Structure 1
Protein backbone atom coordinates (compact mmCIF):
# COMPACT_ATOMS: atom_id res chain seq x y z
CA UNK A 1 0.00 0.00 0.00
CA UNK A 2 2.89 2.36 0.75
CA UNK A 3 4.36 1.78 -2.72
CA UNK A 4 0.96 2.34 -4.32
CA UNK A 5 0.52 5.62 -2.42
CA UNK A 6 4.05 6.75 -3.36
CA UNK A 7 3.21 6.23 -7.03
CA UNK A 8 0.10 8.36 -6.56
CA UNK A 9 2.19 11.04 -4.84
CA UNK A 10 4.81 11.12 -7.61
CA UNK A 11 2.18 11.32 -10.33
CA UNK A 12 0.23 13.94 -8.34
CA UNK A 13 -2.96 11.88 -8.64
CA UNK A 14 -5.69 11.52 -5.99
CA UNK A 15 -6.85 8.07 -4.93
CA UNK A 16 -9.83 6.37 -3.31
CA UNK A 17 -10.40 3.63 -0.77
CA UNK A 18 -11.76 1.41 -3.55
CA UNK A 19 -8.50 1.83 -5.51
CA UNK A 20 -6.41 1.03 -2.47
CA UNK A 21 -8.43 -2.08 -1.64
CA UNK A 22 -7.93 -3.28 -5.19
CA UNK A 23 -4.20 -2.44 -5.17
CA UNK A 24 -3.52 -4.68 -2.20
CA UNK A 25 -6.09 -7.37 -3.10
CA UNK A 26 -7.83 -6.78 0.19
CA UNK A 27 -11.37 -8.14 0.35
CA UNK A 28 -11.80 -7.79 4.10
CA UNK A 29 -12.78 -4.15 4.68
CA UNK A 30 -12.61 -4.70 8.45
CA UNK A 31 -8.82 -5.16 8.20
CA UNK A 32 -8.27 -2.28 5.80
CA UNK A 33 -8.42 0.54 8.42
CA UNK A 34 -5.47 -1.03 10.28
CA UNK A 35 -3.45 -1.44 7.05
CA UNK A 36 -4.32 2.08 5.94
CA UNK A 37 -3.39 3.61 9.31
CA UNK A 38 0.01 1.86 9.32
CA UNK A 39 0.72 2.90 5.73
CA UNK A 40 -0.16 6.52 6.46
CA UNK A 41 2.12 6.55 9.51
CA UNK A 42 4.94 5.04 7.47
CA UNK A 43 4.52 7.67 4.74
CA UNK A 44 4.54 10.46 7.32
CA UNK A 45 7.56 9.29 9.31
CA UNK A 46 9.79 8.03 6.51
CA UNK A 47 8.88 10.27 3.58
CA UNK A 48 7.14 13.29 5.11
CA UNK A 49 3.96 12.76 3.07
CA UNK A 50 0.46 13.26 4.50
CA UNK A 51 -2.64 11.47 3.22
CA UNK A 52 -5.51 14.01 3.29
CA UNK A 53 -9.15 13.02 2.88
CA UNK A 54 -10.90 15.41 0.48
CA UNK A 55 -14.31 13.72 0.15
CA UNK A 56 -15.53 11.64 3.14
CA UNK A 57 -18.55 10.32 1.21
CA UNK A 58 -16.38 9.00 -1.62
CA UNK A 59 -13.41 8.17 0.63
CA UNK A 60 -11.08 10.01 -1.74
CA UNK A 61 -7.64 11.29 -0.77
CA UNK A 62 -4.74 13.43 -1.95
CA UNK A 63 -1.09 13.15 -0.90
CA UNK A 64 0.84 16.27 0.12
CA UNK A 65 4.17 17.05 1.76
CA UNK A 66 4.08 18.00 5.42
CA UNK A 67 4.27 21.61 6.61
CA UNK A 68 3.85 22.97 3.08
CA UNK A 69 7.49 22.24 2.21
CA UNK A 70 7.92 21.83 -1.51
CA UNK A 71 11.33 20.12 -1.69
CA UNK A 72 11.24 17.40 -4.33
CA UNK A 73 14.69 17.35 -5.87
CA UNK A 74 16.81 14.27 -5.28
CA UNK A 75 20.38 13.21 -6.09
CA UNK A 76 20.58 11.06 -9.22
CA UNK A 77 19.43 7.46 -8.99
CA UNK A 78 16.91 7.96 -6.19
CA UNK A 79 13.88 8.01 -8.50
CA UNK A 80 12.31 11.06 -6.91
CA UNK A 81 11.51 9.53 -3.52
CA UNK A 82 10.12 12.27 -1.24
CA UNK A 83 12.48 13.14 1.57
CA UNK A 84 10.61 15.88 3.42
CA UNK A 85 10.69 13.89 6.68
CA UNK A 86 14.50 14.02 6.69
CA UNK A 87 14.50 17.75 5.96
CA UNK A 88 12.10 18.42 8.85
CA UNK A 89 14.33 16.39 11.17
CA UNK A 90 17.34 18.47 10.09
CA UNK A 91 15.43 21.74 10.62
CA UNK A 92 14.36 20.53 14.05
CA UNK A 93 17.92 19.67 15.10
CA UNK A 94 19.02 23.17 14.05
CA UNK A 95 16.30 24.66 16.28
CA UNK A 96 17.37 22.51 19.23
CA UNK A 97 20.95 23.70 18.77
CA UNK A 98 19.95 27.39 19.14
CA UNK A 99 19.41 27.96 15.41
CA UNK A 100 22.85 26.74 14.34
CA UNK A 101 23.74 23.05 14.51
CA UNK A 102 27.37 21.83 14.54
CA UNK A 103 27.80 19.39 11.68
CA UNK A 104 28.79 16.53 13.99
CA UNK A 105 25.63 16.99 16.08
CA UNK A 106 23.46 16.89 12.99
CA UNK A 107 24.97 13.66 11.66
CA UNK A 108 24.52 12.11 15.08
CA UNK A 109 20.83 13.08 15.09
CA UNK A 110 19.93 11.74 11.64
CA UNK A 111 21.23 8.29 12.58
CA UNK A 112 17.75 7.64 13.99
CA UNK A 113 16.58 7.32 10.38
CA UNK A 114 19.51 5.13 9.38
CA UNK A 115 21.23 8.06 7.61
CA UNK A 116 25.04 8.20 7.76
CA UNK A 117 27.57 10.57 6.28
CA UNK A 118 29.19 8.94 3.26
CA UNK A 119 26.82 5.96 3.13
CA UNK A 120 24.26 5.66 0.32
CA UNK A 121 20.70 5.47 1.67
CA UNK A 122 18.07 3.40 -0.10
CA UNK A 123 15.51 6.26 -0.02
CA UNK A 124 17.51 9.46 0.39
CA UNK A 125 20.54 8.78 -1.79
CA UNK A 126 23.97 10.13 -0.83
CA UNK A 127 23.19 12.18 2.29
CA UNK A 128 26.20 14.52 2.29
CA UNK A 129 25.39 15.63 -1.24
CA UNK A 130 21.74 16.08 -0.26
CA UNK A 131 22.44 18.16 2.85
CA UNK A 132 25.45 20.21 1.80
CA UNK A 133 24.66 20.75 -1.89
CA UNK A 134 21.09 20.01 -3.00
CA UNK A 135 19.25 21.54 -0.04
CA UNK A 136 21.74 24.41 0.16
CA UNK A 137 21.17 25.20 -3.54
CA UNK A 138 17.40 24.99 -2.99
CA UNK A 139 17.70 27.46 -0.10
CA UNK A 140 16.43 25.20 2.67
CA UNK A 141 19.76 25.06 4.50
CA UNK A 142 22.80 27.21 4.96
CA UNK A 143 26.09 25.33 5.37
CA UNK A 144 29.07 27.35 6.46
CA UNK A 145 32.40 27.21 8.26
CA UNK A 146 32.25 28.15 11.93
CA UNK A 147 33.90 31.59 12.08
CA UNK A 148 37.48 31.41 13.34
CA UNK A 149 37.55 27.61 13.60
CA UNK A 150 40.97 26.03 13.03
CA UNK A 151 40.98 23.29 11.91
CA UNK A 152 37.82 24.14 10.02
CA UNK A 153 34.49 23.08 11.55
CA UNK A 154 31.12 23.51 9.86
CA UNK A 155 27.56 24.20 10.94
CA UNK A 156 24.03 24.18 9.52
CA UNK A 157 21.43 26.97 9.73
CA UNK A 158 17.95 27.43 8.28
CA UNK A 159 18.06 28.82 4.75
CA UNK A 160 15.79 31.56 3.36
CA UNK A 161 13.41 29.09 1.68
CA UNK A 162 12.84 27.22 4.95
CA UNK A 163 11.96 30.51 6.65
CA UNK A 164 9.59 31.37 3.78
CA UNK A 165 7.74 28.03 3.63
CA UNK A 166 7.44 27.07 7.30
CA UNK A 167 8.16 28.32 10.81
CA UNK A 168 9.99 27.10 13.89
CA UNK A 169 6.68 26.68 15.70
CA UNK A 170 5.24 24.47 12.94
CA UNK A 171 8.36 22.28 12.85
CA UNK A 172 8.42 21.88 16.61
CA UNK A 173 4.70 21.14 16.78
CA UNK A 174 4.97 18.55 14.00
CA UNK A 175 7.90 16.79 15.67
CA UNK A 176 6.06 16.73 18.99
CA UNK A 177 3.00 15.19 17.30
CA UNK A 178 5.15 12.56 15.57
CA UNK A 179 6.94 11.81 18.81
CA UNK A 180 3.66 11.00 20.55
CA UNK A 181 2.80 8.27 18.03
CA UNK A 182 5.28 5.55 19.05
CA UNK A 183 7.16 5.58 15.74
CA UNK A 184 9.26 2.50 16.47
CA UNK A 185 7.37 0.18 14.13
CA UNK A 186 7.58 2.52 11.16
CA UNK A 187 11.26 3.27 11.69
CA UNK A 188 11.85 -0.48 11.87
CA UNK A 189 10.11 -0.88 8.52
CA UNK A 190 12.25 1.91 7.10
CA UNK A 191 15.39 0.08 8.16
CA UNK A 192 14.03 -3.23 6.90
CA UNK A 193 13.48 -1.66 3.49
CA UNK A 194 17.12 -0.59 3.50
CA UNK A 195 18.42 -3.91 4.80
CA UNK A 196 20.55 -4.50 1.71
CA UNK A 197 22.95 -1.87 3.04
CA UNK A 198 25.92 -3.77 4.42
CA UNK A 199 26.56 -1.86 7.62
CA UNK A 200 24.06 -2.18 10.41
CA UNK A 201 22.97 0.61 12.71
CA UNK A 202 24.91 0.45 15.94
CA UNK A 203 22.76 0.55 19.08
CA UNK A 204 22.99 3.67 21.21
CA UNK A 205 25.56 3.38 23.96
CA UNK A 206 23.99 5.75 26.42
CA UNK A 207 24.75 5.85 30.11
CA UNK A 208 27.71 4.56 32.10
CA UNK A 209 28.53 0.93 32.82
CA UNK A 210 28.03 1.31 36.56
CA UNK A 211 24.28 1.47 35.97
CA UNK A 212 24.31 -2.04 34.52
CA UNK A 213 24.90 -3.58 37.96
CA UNK A 214 21.54 -3.98 39.79
CA UNK A 215 23.11 -3.84 43.26
CA UNK A 216 24.98 -0.65 42.44
CA UNK A 217 21.90 0.81 40.75
CA UNK A 218 19.82 0.31 43.90
CA UNK A 219 22.42 2.07 46.07
CA UNK A 220 22.92 4.95 43.65
CA UNK A 221 19.16 5.24 43.06
CA UNK A 222 18.58 5.89 46.75
CA UNK A 223 21.29 8.54 46.71
CA UNK A 224 19.70 10.17 43.66
CA UNK A 225 16.40 10.44 45.51
CA UNK A 226 18.19 11.88 48.55
CA UNK A 227 19.94 14.45 46.36
CA UNK A 228 16.64 15.42 44.70
CA UNK A 229 15.10 15.99 48.15
CA UNK A 230 18.13 18.12 49.15
CA UNK A 231 17.86 20.18 45.96
CA UNK A 232 14.13 20.74 46.48
CA UNK A 233 14.82 22.16 49.93
CA UNK A 234 17.35 24.54 48.38
CA UNK A 235 14.82 25.52 45.71
CA UNK A 236 11.99 26.13 48.20
CA UNK A 237 14.26 28.25 50.45
CA UNK A 238 15.73 30.06 47.41
CA UNK A 239 19.28 29.20 48.50
CA UNK A 240 22.21 28.39 46.19
CA UNK A 241 24.25 25.25 46.75
CA UNK A 242 27.68 23.83 45.97
CA UNK A 243 29.09 20.49 44.89
CA UNK A 244 30.74 20.15 48.31
CA UNK A 245 27.34 20.54 50.03
CA UNK A 246 25.76 17.97 47.73
CA UNK A 247 28.58 15.46 48.29
CA UNK A 248 28.03 15.80 52.03
CA UNK A 249 24.25 15.53 51.67
CA UNK A 250 24.48 12.11 49.98
CA UNK A 251 27.56 10.88 51.89
CA UNK A 252 29.36 10.40 48.59
CA UNK A 253 33.15 10.34 48.34
CA UNK A 254 33.52 8.77 44.88
CA UNK A 255 33.67 11.70 42.42
CA UNK A 256 32.94 9.51 39.35
CA UNK A 257 29.81 8.07 40.94
CA UNK A 258 28.71 11.51 42.14
CA UNK A 259 28.74 12.75 38.54
CA UNK A 260 26.18 10.08 37.64
CA UNK A 261 24.09 10.76 40.75
CA UNK A 262 24.12 14.50 40.03
CA UNK A 263 23.14 14.01 36.37
CA UNK A 264 20.21 11.74 37.26
CA UNK A 265 19.02 14.08 40.02
CA UNK A 266 19.10 17.11 37.69
CA UNK A 267 17.10 15.20 35.07
CA UNK A 268 14.53 14.11 37.66
CA UNK A 269 14.18 17.71 38.91
CA UNK A 270 13.55 18.98 35.40
CA UNK A 271 11.15 16.24 34.29
CA UNK A 272 9.09 15.92 37.46
CA UNK A 273 9.20 19.42 38.95
CA UNK A 274 10.23 21.71 36.11
CA UNK A 275 13.32 22.99 37.91
CA UNK A 276 16.69 23.57 36.24
CA UNK A 277 20.06 23.44 37.99
CA UNK A 278 22.22 26.33 36.74
CA UNK A 279 25.95 26.54 37.43
CA UNK A 280 26.91 30.10 38.42
CA UNK A 281 30.58 29.58 39.35
CA UNK A 282 32.48 26.79 37.51
CA UNK A 283 35.52 27.23 39.77
CA UNK A 284 33.60 26.87 43.04
CA UNK A 285 31.02 24.50 41.48
CA UNK A 286 28.16 26.55 42.87
CA UNK A 287 24.60 26.35 41.54
CA UNK A 288 21.19 27.99 41.72
CA UNK A 289 17.82 26.35 41.02
CA UNK A 290 15.34 28.08 38.71
CA UNK A 291 12.05 27.16 37.04
CA UNK A 292 12.17 26.14 33.37
CA UNK A 293 11.22 28.54 30.56
CA UNK A 294 11.11 31.53 32.91
CA UNK A 295 7.67 30.53 34.23
CA UNK A 296 6.99 31.89 37.69
CA UNK A 297 4.10 29.66 38.76
CA UNK A 298 4.49 28.89 42.43
CA UNK A 299 0.85 28.62 43.45
CA UNK A 300 0.41 25.41 45.42
CA UNK A 301 -2.38 23.91 47.44
CA UNK A 302 -2.24 23.63 51.20
CA UNK A 303 -0.34 20.64 52.58
CA UNK A 304 1.94 20.05 49.58
CA UNK A 305 4.87 21.90 51.18
CA UNK A 306 5.40 24.22 48.23
CA UNK A 307 6.53 21.55 45.73
CA UNK A 308 7.21 23.20 42.33
CA UNK A 309 4.59 22.41 39.69
CA UNK A 310 6.17 24.01 36.62
CA UNK A 311 6.67 20.72 34.78
CA UNK A 312 2.97 19.94 35.00
CA UNK A 313 2.07 23.42 33.76
CA UNK A 314 4.35 23.02 30.72
CA UNK A 315 2.61 19.75 29.85
CA UNK A 316 -0.79 21.48 30.04
CA UNK A 317 0.42 24.37 27.86
CA UNK A 318 1.84 21.86 25.36
CA UNK A 319 -1.44 19.94 25.15
CA UNK A 320 -3.28 23.20 24.50
CA UNK A 321 -0.92 23.94 21.59
CA UNK A 322 -1.34 20.48 20.10
CA UNK A 323 -5.12 20.83 20.27
CA UNK A 324 -5.03 23.98 18.12
CA UNK A 325 -4.60 26.40 21.05
CA UNK A 326 -7.91 25.34 22.60
CA UNK A 327 -7.86 21.98 24.44
CA UNK A 328 -11.03 20.12 25.47
CA UNK A 329 -10.89 19.38 29.19
CA UNK A 330 -11.07 15.61 28.63
CA UNK A 331 -7.96 15.74 26.38
CA UNK A 332 -6.01 17.58 29.07
CA UNK A 333 -6.90 15.00 31.73
CA UNK A 334 -6.10 12.19 29.30
CA UNK A 335 -2.61 13.61 28.75
CA UNK A 336 -2.03 14.15 32.47
CA UNK A 337 -3.13 10.58 33.21
CA UNK A 338 0.14 9.42 31.63
CA UNK A 339 1.92 11.24 34.46
CA UNK A 340 -0.32 9.67 37.10
CA UNK A 341 -2.26 12.91 37.56
CA UNK A 342 -6.03 12.31 37.66
CA UNK A 343 -8.93 14.68 38.35
CA UNK A 344 -10.23 14.26 41.87
CA UNK A 345 -7.28 12.18 43.06
CA UNK A 346 -4.76 13.80 45.42
CA UNK A 347 -1.22 13.71 44.02
CA UNK A 348 1.73 13.42 46.39
CA UNK A 349 3.62 16.27 44.66
CA UNK A 350 0.97 18.36 42.92
CA UNK A 351 -1.90 18.24 45.42
CA UNK A 352 -5.50 18.16 44.21
CA UNK A 353 -5.05 18.59 40.45
CA UNK A 354 -8.54 19.85 39.53
CA UNK A 355 -8.25 22.70 42.00
CA UNK A 356 -4.71 23.42 40.77
CA UNK A 357 -5.68 23.58 37.09
CA UNK A 358 -9.12 25.21 37.24
CA UNK A 359 -8.65 27.59 40.19
CA UNK A 360 -5.06 28.22 41.34
CA UNK A 361 -3.44 28.49 37.89
CA UNK A 362 -6.47 30.27 36.43
CA UNK A 363 -6.23 32.91 39.19
CA UNK A 364 -2.50 33.26 38.43
CA UNK A 365 -3.32 33.78 34.74
CA UNK A 366 -1.44 30.83 33.26
CA UNK A 367 -4.36 28.91 31.72
CA UNK A 368 -7.86 30.11 30.90
CA UNK A 369 -10.69 27.69 31.73
CA UNK A 370 -14.06 28.31 30.13
CA UNK A 371 -17.26 26.63 28.99
CA UNK A 372 -17.31 25.65 25.32
CA UNK A 373 -19.69 28.16 23.69
CA UNK A 374 -23.13 26.64 23.05
CA UNK A 375 -22.33 23.27 24.66
CA UNK A 376 -25.29 21.49 26.27
CA UNK A 377 -24.64 19.71 28.56
CA UNK A 378 -21.79 22.03 29.47
CA UNK A 379 -18.31 21.10 28.29
CA UNK A 380 -15.13 22.97 29.20
CA UNK A 381 -11.82 23.78 27.55
CA UNK A 382 -8.40 25.20 28.40
CA UNK A 383 -6.54 28.01 26.62
CA UNK A 384 -3.33 29.86 27.36
CA UNK A 385 -3.85 32.67 29.84
CA UNK A 386 -2.30 36.16 29.67
CA UNK A 387 0.52 35.32 32.09
CA UNK A 388 1.60 32.29 30.02
CA UNK A 389 1.73 34.48 26.91
CA UNK A 390 3.77 37.09 28.81
CA UNK A 391 6.31 34.71 30.35
CA UNK A 392 6.96 32.20 27.56
CA UNK A 393 6.05 31.36 23.97
CA UNK A 394 4.64 28.42 22.04
CA UNK A 395 8.03 27.83 20.41
CA UNK A 396 9.79 27.65 23.78
CA UNK A 397 7.20 25.25 25.20
CA UNK A 398 7.26 22.93 22.18
CA UNK A 399 11.05 23.05 22.02
CA UNK A 400 11.35 22.14 25.71
CA UNK A 401 8.92 19.22 25.43
CA UNK A 402 10.77 17.89 22.39
CA UNK A 403 14.13 18.14 24.12
CA UNK A 404 12.71 16.20 27.06
CA UNK A 405 11.20 13.60 24.75
CA UNK A 406 14.62 12.90 23.20
CA UNK A 407 15.82 11.52 26.52
CA UNK A 408 15.09 8.11 27.93
CA UNK A 409 12.58 9.03 30.60
CA UNK A 410 12.27 5.66 32.31
CA UNK A 411 15.03 6.17 34.85
CA UNK A 412 13.88 9.62 35.91
CA UNK A 413 10.21 8.66 36.08
CA UNK A 414 11.02 5.59 38.17
CA UNK A 415 12.92 7.89 40.51
CA UNK A 416 9.83 10.07 40.65
CA UNK A 417 7.74 7.06 41.71
CA UNK A 418 10.36 6.07 44.29
CA UNK A 419 10.43 9.61 45.66
CA UNK A 420 6.63 9.63 45.77
CA UNK A 421 6.62 6.35 47.68
CA UNK A 422 9.09 7.78 50.17
CA UNK A 423 6.92 10.87 50.61
CA UNK A 424 3.83 8.73 51.22
CA UNK A 425 5.67 6.57 53.77
CA UNK A 426 6.81 9.67 55.65
CA UNK A 427 3.30 11.20 55.62
Structure 2
Protein backbone atom coordinates (compact mmCIF):
# COMPACT_ATOMS: atom_id res chain seq x y z
CA UNK A 1 0.00 0.00 0.00
CA UNK A 2 1.40 3.37 -1.03
CA UNK A 3 0.39 5.11 2.19
CA UNK A 4 2.23 2.51 4.29
CA UNK A 5 5.40 3.17 2.28
CA UNK A 6 4.90 6.93 2.71
CA UNK A 7 4.69 6.57 6.50
CA UNK A 8 7.78 4.35 6.60
CA UNK A 9 9.83 6.81 4.56
CA UNK A 10 8.85 9.67 6.88
CA UNK A 11 9.53 7.54 9.95
CA UNK A 12 13.14 6.93 8.87
CA UNK A 13 13.86 10.49 10.04
CA UNK A 14 11.15 10.43 12.73
CA UNK A 15 9.18 13.11 10.89
CA UNK A 16 5.46 13.49 11.67
CA UNK A 17 2.99 13.05 8.81
CA UNK A 18 0.33 15.66 8.06
CA UNK A 19 -3.08 14.79 6.65
CA UNK A 20 -2.71 17.58 4.11
CA UNK A 21 0.52 15.99 2.83
CA UNK A 22 -1.11 12.55 2.67
CA UNK A 23 -3.90 13.94 0.52
CA UNK A 24 -1.52 15.92 -1.67
CA UNK A 25 1.19 13.31 -2.19
CA UNK A 26 -0.61 9.98 -1.84
CA UNK A 27 -4.40 9.99 -2.00
CA UNK A 28 -4.89 12.84 -4.47
CA UNK A 29 -8.27 12.28 -6.17
CA UNK A 30 -9.15 9.66 -3.51
CA UNK A 31 -9.18 12.17 -0.65
CA UNK A 32 -12.87 11.52 0.02
CA UNK A 33 -12.03 8.02 1.30
CA UNK A 34 -9.30 9.24 3.65
CA UNK A 35 -10.92 7.74 6.76
CA UNK A 36 -11.23 4.26 5.28
CA UNK A 37 -7.69 4.23 3.89
CA UNK A 38 -6.28 5.39 7.23
CA UNK A 39 -8.13 2.57 9.01
CA UNK A 40 -6.66 0.00 6.62
CA UNK A 41 -3.20 1.55 6.97
CA UNK A 42 -3.42 1.48 10.76
CA UNK A 43 -4.52 -2.16 10.68
CA UNK A 44 -1.58 -3.09 8.41
CA UNK A 45 0.93 -1.39 10.70
CA UNK A 46 -0.43 -3.12 13.82
CA UNK A 47 -0.63 -6.61 12.33
CA UNK A 48 2.43 -6.61 10.07
CA UNK A 49 4.93 -4.12 11.49
CA UNK A 50 4.04 -3.91 15.20
CA UNK A 51 3.51 -0.15 14.89
CA UNK A 52 0.58 1.99 15.94
CA UNK A 53 -0.53 5.06 14.00
CA UNK A 54 -1.20 7.84 16.54
CA UNK A 55 -2.68 11.26 15.89
CA UNK A 56 -0.64 13.57 18.11
CA UNK A 57 -2.33 16.78 16.95
CA UNK A 58 -6.07 16.37 16.33
CA UNK A 59 -6.52 20.01 15.35
CA UNK A 60 -3.98 19.94 12.52
CA UNK A 61 -4.26 16.17 11.88
CA UNK A 62 -0.65 15.16 12.41
CA UNK A 63 0.31 11.49 12.78
CA UNK A 64 3.32 9.48 13.94
CA UNK A 65 4.25 5.81 14.17
CA UNK A 66 4.74 4.28 17.63
CA UNK A 67 6.69 1.04 18.08
CA UNK A 68 4.46 -1.21 20.20
CA UNK A 69 7.26 -3.62 21.14
CA UNK A 70 8.08 -3.45 24.85
CA UNK A 71 11.42 -1.78 25.65
CA UNK A 72 14.10 -3.58 27.57
CA UNK A 73 13.46 -3.69 31.33
CA UNK A 74 15.03 -0.79 33.23
CA UNK A 75 15.37 1.53 30.24
CA UNK A 76 12.92 4.22 29.07
CA UNK A 77 13.22 2.92 25.49
CA UNK A 78 15.76 1.07 23.39
CA UNK A 79 18.71 3.33 22.77
CA UNK A 80 19.26 2.29 19.18
CA UNK A 81 21.70 5.08 18.33
CA UNK A 82 23.68 7.86 20.07
CA UNK A 83 21.14 10.53 19.07
CA UNK A 84 18.44 8.68 21.01
CA UNK A 85 20.68 8.61 24.08
CA UNK A 86 21.29 12.35 23.81
CA UNK A 87 17.58 13.00 23.43
CA UNK A 88 16.76 10.95 26.53
CA UNK A 89 19.26 12.96 28.56
CA UNK A 90 17.54 16.20 27.51
CA UNK A 91 14.05 14.80 28.15
CA UNK A 92 15.11 13.66 31.62
CA UNK A 93 16.48 17.14 32.44
CA UNK A 94 13.20 18.77 31.35
CA UNK A 95 11.14 16.20 33.27
CA UNK A 96 13.12 16.53 36.50
CA UNK A 97 12.97 20.34 36.29
CA UNK A 98 9.18 20.36 36.30
CA UNK A 99 8.40 20.18 32.59
CA UNK A 100 10.15 23.31 31.35
CA UNK A 101 13.80 24.29 31.44
CA UNK A 102 15.86 27.16 30.10
CA UNK A 103 18.15 26.47 27.18
CA UNK A 104 21.27 27.36 29.16
CA UNK A 105 20.52 24.63 31.71
CA UNK A 106 20.36 22.00 28.95
CA UNK A 107 23.63 23.18 27.40
CA UNK A 108 25.34 23.12 30.82
CA UNK A 109 24.20 19.53 31.35
CA UNK A 110 25.53 18.48 27.94
CA UNK A 111 28.86 20.22 28.59
CA UNK A 112 29.28 18.06 31.69
CA UNK A 113 29.06 15.11 29.26
CA UNK A 114 31.76 16.66 27.06
CA UNK A 115 29.15 17.69 24.47
CA UNK A 116 29.51 21.40 23.68
CA UNK A 117 26.76 22.91 21.47
CA UNK A 118 29.26 25.50 20.20
CA UNK A 119 31.50 22.83 18.71
CA UNK A 120 31.05 20.18 16.03
CA UNK A 121 30.88 16.86 17.86
CA UNK A 122 32.53 13.78 16.34
CA UNK A 123 29.38 11.67 16.96
CA UNK A 124 26.48 14.15 16.96
CA UNK A 125 27.82 16.65 14.45
CA UNK A 126 26.16 20.05 14.86
CA UNK A 127 24.72 19.56 18.35
CA UNK A 128 22.72 22.77 18.47
CA UNK A 129 21.06 22.02 15.14
CA UNK A 130 20.31 18.45 16.21
CA UNK A 131 18.63 19.59 19.43
CA UNK A 132 16.89 22.82 18.39
CA UNK A 133 16.01 21.85 14.82
CA UNK A 134 15.94 18.07 14.22
CA UNK A 135 14.43 17.03 17.58
CA UNK A 136 11.91 19.88 17.29
CA UNK A 137 10.81 18.94 13.77
CA UNK A 138 10.44 15.34 14.94
CA UNK A 139 8.16 16.63 17.73
CA UNK A 140 10.31 15.23 20.53
CA UNK A 141 11.00 18.71 21.90
CA UNK A 142 9.39 22.13 21.92
CA UNK A 143 11.84 25.02 21.71
CA UNK A 144 10.15 28.32 22.45
CA UNK A 145 11.14 31.93 22.98
CA UNK A 146 10.92 33.37 26.49
CA UNK A 147 9.10 36.72 26.25
CA UNK A 148 10.76 39.92 27.43
CA UNK A 149 14.29 38.50 27.70
CA UNK A 150 17.31 40.52 26.56
CA UNK A 151 19.31 38.96 25.08
CA UNK A 152 16.64 36.60 23.80
CA UNK A 153 16.44 33.28 25.65
CA UNK A 154 14.67 30.02 24.84
CA UNK A 155 13.24 27.16 26.88
CA UNK A 156 12.58 23.46 26.25
CA UNK A 157 9.50 21.33 26.89
CA UNK A 158 8.58 17.77 25.94
CA UNK A 159 7.12 17.61 22.45
CA UNK A 160 3.97 15.79 21.38
CA UNK A 161 5.87 12.72 20.15
CA UNK A 162 7.79 12.37 23.42
CA UNK A 163 4.55 12.52 25.40
CA UNK A 164 3.18 9.44 23.63
CA UNK A 165 6.43 7.54 22.98
CA UNK A 166 8.38 7.91 26.21
CA UNK A 167 7.20 6.45 29.52
CA UNK A 168 7.93 8.90 32.33
CA UNK A 169 7.69 6.09 34.86
CA UNK A 170 10.31 4.01 33.01
CA UNK A 171 12.51 7.11 32.77
CA UNK A 172 12.15 7.80 36.52
CA UNK A 173 12.96 4.18 37.40
CA UNK A 174 15.99 4.37 35.12
CA UNK A 175 17.19 7.56 36.85
CA UNK A 176 16.58 5.89 40.21
CA UNK A 177 18.91 3.05 39.24
CA UNK A 178 21.57 5.52 38.14
CA UNK A 179 21.42 7.50 41.40
CA UNK A 180 20.72 4.60 43.75
CA UNK A 181 17.36 6.02 44.81
CA UNK A 182 13.80 4.78 44.84
CA UNK A 183 11.70 6.50 42.12
CA UNK A 184 9.32 7.73 44.83
CA UNK A 185 12.20 9.82 46.21
CA UNK A 186 11.16 12.39 43.61
CA UNK A 187 7.55 12.63 44.81
CA UNK A 188 6.29 15.25 42.35
CA UNK A 189 7.80 13.55 39.32
CA UNK A 190 6.62 10.13 40.55
CA UNK A 191 3.05 11.38 40.83
CA UNK A 192 3.19 12.78 37.30
CA UNK A 193 4.72 9.56 35.97
CA UNK A 194 2.11 7.32 37.57
CA UNK A 195 -0.66 9.57 36.25
CA UNK A 196 0.74 9.12 32.74
CA UNK A 197 0.85 5.36 33.22
CA UNK A 198 -2.73 5.01 34.52
CA UNK A 199 -5.23 3.79 31.90
CA UNK A 200 -7.70 6.59 32.57
CA UNK A 201 -5.24 9.44 32.25
CA UNK A 202 -5.62 11.86 29.38
CA UNK A 203 -2.62 11.90 27.08
CA UNK A 204 -1.79 13.81 23.92
CA UNK A 205 -2.35 11.70 20.85
CA UNK A 206 -5.02 9.54 22.46
CA UNK A 207 -7.46 10.19 19.61
CA UNK A 208 -7.77 7.58 16.88
CA UNK A 209 -6.40 8.15 13.36
CA UNK A 210 -8.83 10.11 11.27
CA UNK A 211 -10.92 11.29 14.22
CA UNK A 212 -12.31 14.79 14.17
CA UNK A 213 -12.36 15.38 17.92
CA UNK A 214 -10.86 18.72 18.91
CA UNK A 215 -7.40 18.54 20.43
CA UNK A 216 -5.08 20.99 22.10
CA UNK A 217 -1.89 21.95 20.28
CA UNK A 218 0.94 24.30 21.03
CA UNK A 219 1.29 27.41 18.87
CA UNK A 220 3.64 26.64 16.04
CA UNK A 221 4.79 30.21 15.55
CA UNK A 222 7.29 30.02 18.40
CA UNK A 223 8.86 26.77 17.25
CA UNK A 224 11.69 26.40 14.79
User: Which interval holds the TM-score relative to the shorter structure?
Assistant: 0.3 to 0.5
Q: Which has the higher contact order (CA 8 A, sep 6+)?
A: 2
Pick the structure with greater CA Rg: 1
What TM-score, normalized to structure 2?
A: 0.46
